[in-house]
Structure 1
């Protein structure tokens, strides 16, 4: 009886938790380069980061802009996309898991690589 109850508790916990919430981080790392190869600073989510390099972006239910601090470089739009783990959760976890993913905003991701256009 205790084993059956424990199995039900574990199954309920797995089905009611979000797959993207469990499998992904709160941030998304992207490789950012410049067309000229020069080093510059970009700002996203209020944090300045040096590129070329890996830029960390907080996952949110909104598109963002990577603001280039150099005058000769252009800003880059970062479009939100749905994390692939979210679709697995819709099938396996149903409404409860997918709503958890949506609520934590971990169901979103951005491009894996971005190039800042500089003159």
Structure 2
């Protein structure tokens, strides 16, 4: 029991300086991308090629991402907006300034919609 009491402050200190979203979220988020006409499409997100319909791992970023589609008849660019992940707010309550700063600097505090539909004719 005595050694357990010794580790409690260490665990609390470590959790206070690490970000909750940084620990729980990965650098990328899987997003289901499809075309409004149900046909296959090709494009890039942040320079990384993708084919859809399918799951695409999208790098988390504060400004979101842009899906650039090369398939004729489809909207050439579709925004994938980012919003703050609820894990970030939990971190503010439990980890304070250090943890939330870590989440902000790693950009792992952001999330995207689970599915994005590209408009195609």
5+ long unaligned stretches in structure 2: none
Q: Where does residue 64 of structure 1 map in the other structure? A: 65
Match of 1:15 in 2: 16
- Give the length in aligned residue pairs: 119
Cα distance between partner residues in 2 of 1:20 and 1:110: 14
Distance in 2, matches of 1:33 and 1:3, equals: 51
Cα RMSD for the two superposed structures: 1.2
TM-score with structure 2 setting the length: 0.92
User: What's the CA shift for 1:2?
Assistant: 4.5
**Which contiguous aligned blocks of 4+ residues in structure 1 show a shift greater than 2 angstroms?**
1-5
Q: Deviations over 1:24-80 (max 9, x none)?
A: 111011111111111111210101111000111111221321011112101211111
1-structure distance, mates of 2:5, 2:118: 56
Question: Normalising by structure 1, what TM-score?
Answer: 0.93
